[in-house]
């Protein structure tokens, strides 16, 4: 067969798209080991929480739960045996878009499989297939198979939220001091919050009890730090009073997103913060609208007085629409952001109304920069490939083989002392681009 089914025993060539086809890539490790493990764990959780789920969805959901577990297990076998990816089925509006994206994969390889498709496509397709399993049932259409893991992570992270929340509250109530340094500290707390994703750790996040505000010693791990530029963009007066945050994980990371947004509102750097959430359960810990509101509710009823106070104020922001939660199915399409205007021009234009857009996390980074193995010195602007709805900040701990905007020689220096540096989340990036192209 002329098909690229087998793969090559080599690293991803420079400028090539990330794919498990290259067997010495992290994409390959992820498809071979991590994705099947995530599916096994998902089935496990459903099985362990069966009684709880029956109470939520009713006794009549028992058969559906069994079917979902069988279908997810079959999906795992499809990955492990490298079966061609089939079209998605269902009535949801994103199904046709997914199938269009699948067709585009088929232009490159006539039978896309998990091991020869673009890595981003393979991962997104897997998560979308989990939702498809649920959509096909009568009783579980609204079930979030990751809900228990997300809730558990939230409660375990409370010990880190307390010091971060106290830091914020003290700064907001204290004498007006150096706004820039407070903002940059919150930005960095927010950056390191991105270590806490459940798909990297399969739920085994280590919550070290050190106060997460004591982060100065971590500056040496920030390989590119454009925080001063981010501050300039936020603090300048423009026509726009909106800041957009494209969210990633719930739990501690979402809490730190909210701290940053509170600082922005309280100090009048914007009148409106729009939080973009995922419309379906995604990469285990990504924030959905339900997670967002659940988190605010938990804070409001929290025993810790600082967290409760923040919860009260933040719930009020939602009530008076100073904060809004925005859904758009583009965020869970397997499409990189250079193509956003083509797939969802309304979203591109909506983002254009913001003075600053903050993109959170690893997968957003991969989508921003086109999921390619760029030379790591490639400029941020060039790697965005025309995606410039407004000024962009990206905050991301590095968990995949895609990095741009580094000074010459830095990647090689780090590689020498730490050859896992691209996948552990130990290093971080705060990057900024001020190019703007209205469409």
Q: Which residues bind ligand F6P (CB under 6 A)?
A: 30, 123, 194, 197, 199-200, 248-249, 283, 361-363, 399-400
Q: Which is nearer to ligand F6P, 339 or 362 (CB)?
A: 362
Q: Backbone phi, then psi, for 84, in 5-degree steps?
A: -60, 145
Quick check: 114 and 35 in contact, CB under 8 A? Answer: yes
In 237-326, where does DSSP find H-type helix? Answer: 252-266, 289-300, 305-319
Say if residue 412 is exposed, middle or buried (CB neighbours under 10 Å; 0-12, 13-18, 19+): exposed
Q: Which is nearer to ligand F6P, 165 or 425 (CB)?
A: 425
Structure tokens at 284: 């285990």
Quick check: 275 and 292 in contact, CB under 8 A? Answer: yes
Q: Which is nearer to ligand F6P, 186 or 200 (CB)?
A: 200
Say how many residues make up the chain.
439
CB of 303 to ligand F6P, least distance (A): 29
CB of 30 to ligand F6P, least distance (A): 5
Q: Which is nearer to ligand F6P, 29 or 181 (CB)?
A: 29
CB of 245 to ligand F6P, least distance (A): 14
CB of 153 to ligand F6P, least distance (A): 12
Contacts of 26 (CB under 8 A, 6+ apart): 400, 401, 422, 423
- Closest Cα partner for 261 from 239, 284, 245, 278? 245
Q: Which is nearer to ligand F6P, 199 or 256 (CB)?
A: 199
Say if residue 33 is exposed, middle or buried (CB neighbours under 10 Å; 0-12, 13-18, 19+): exposed
CB of 428 to ligand F6P, least distance (A): 11
Q: Which is nearer to ligand F6P, 313 or 360 (CB)?
A: 360
Say if residue 89 is exposed, middle or buried (CB neighbours under 10 Å; 0-12, 13-18, 19+): exposed
Measured CA to CA, the distance from residue 242 to residue 261 in angstroms comes to 11
CB of 398 to ligand F6P, least distance (A): 9
In 136-203, where does DSSP find H-type helix? Answer: 147-173, 179-193, 198-201
CB of 361 to ligand F6P, least distance (A): 3
CB of 17 to ligand F6P, least distance (A): 14
Q: Which is nearer to ligand F6P, 358 or 400 (CB)?
A: 400
Q: Backbone phi, then psi, for 429, in 5-degree steps?
A: -135, 135
Q: Which is nearer to ligand F6P, 140 or 258 (CB)?
A: 258
Q: Which is nearer to ligand F6P, 302 or 429 (CB)?
A: 429
Q: Which is nearer to ligand F6P, 168 or 200 (CB)?
A: 200
CB of 34 to ligand F6P, least distance (A): 6
Say if residue 32 is exposed, middle or buried (CB neighbours under 10 Å; 0-12, 13-18, 19+): middle
Measured CA to CA, the distance from residue 278 to residue 280 in angstroms comes to 6
Structure tokens at 76: 């795992």
Contacts of 72 (CB under 8 A, 6+ apart): 39, 42, 43, 46, 130, 133
Q: Which is nearer to ligand F6P, 144 or 248 (CB)?
A: 248
CB of 25 to ligand F6P, least distance (A): 12
Contacts of 204 (CB under 8 A, 6+ apart): none
DSSP letters, 41-89, are HHHHHHHHTHHHHHHHH-GGGHHHHHHHHHHHHHHHHHHHTTPBPPPP-
CB of 365 to ligand F6P, least distance (A): 7
Mark 358-374 as b/e (b = at least 16 C-beta within 10 Å): bbbbbbbbbbbbbbbbb
């Amino acid at each position: 067969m002329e098909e690229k089914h087998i793969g090559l025993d080599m690293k991803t060539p420079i400028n090539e798209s990330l794919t498990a086809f290259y067997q010495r890539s992290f994409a390959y490790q992820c498809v071979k080991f991590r994705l099947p493990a995530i599916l096994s764990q998902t089935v496990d959780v459903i099985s362990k929480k069966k009684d709880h789920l029956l109470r939520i969805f009713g006794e009549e959901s028992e058969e559906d739960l069994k079917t979902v577990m069988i279908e997810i297990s079959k999906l795992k076998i499809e990955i492990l045996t490298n079966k061609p990816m089939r079209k998605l089925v269902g009535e949801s509006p994103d199904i046709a878009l997914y199938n269009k994206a699948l067709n585009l994969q088929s232009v490159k390889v006539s039978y896309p499989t998990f091991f020869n498709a673009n890595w981003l496509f393979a991962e997104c397709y897997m998560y979308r297939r989990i939702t498809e399993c649920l959509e096909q049932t009568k009783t579980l259409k609204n079930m979030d198979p990751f809900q228990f893991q997300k809730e558990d992570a939230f409660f375990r992270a409370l010990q880190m939220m307390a010091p971060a929340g106290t830091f914020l509250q003290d700064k907001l109530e204290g004498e007006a001091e150096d706004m820039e340094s407070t903002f940059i500290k919150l930005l960095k707390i927010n950056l390191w919050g991105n270590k806490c994703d459940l798909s990297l750790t399969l739920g085994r996040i280590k919550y070290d009890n050190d106060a997460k505000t004591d982060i100065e010693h971590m500056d040496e791990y920030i390989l590119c730090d454009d925080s001063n530029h981010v501050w300039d963009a936020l603090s300048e007066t423009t026509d726009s009073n909106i800041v957009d945050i494209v969210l990633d994980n719930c739990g501690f990371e979402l809490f730190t997103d909210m701290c940053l947004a509170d600082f922005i509102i309280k100090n009048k750097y914007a009148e409106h913060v729009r939080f973009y959430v995922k419309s379906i359960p995604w990469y285990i810990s990504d924030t959905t609208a339900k997670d967002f509101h659940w988190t605010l509710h938990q804070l409001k009823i929290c025993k810790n007085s600082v967290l409760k106070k923040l919860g009260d104020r933040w719930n009020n922001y939602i009530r008076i629409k100073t904060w809004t939660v925005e859904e758009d199915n583009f965020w869970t399409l397997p499409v990189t952001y250079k193509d956003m205007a083509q797939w969802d021009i309304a979203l591109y234009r909506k983002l254009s109304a913001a003075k600053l857009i903050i993109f959170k996390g690893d997968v957003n980074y991969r989508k921003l920069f086109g999921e390619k193995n760029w030379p790591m010195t490639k400029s941020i602007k060039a790697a965005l490939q025309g995606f410039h709805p407004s000024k962009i900040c990206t905050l991301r701990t590095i968990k995949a083989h895609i990095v741009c905007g580094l000074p010459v020689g830095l990647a090689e220096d780090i590689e020498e002392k730490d050859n896992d540096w691209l996948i552990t989340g130990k290093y971080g990036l705060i990057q900024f681009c001020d190019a703007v192209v209205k469409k």
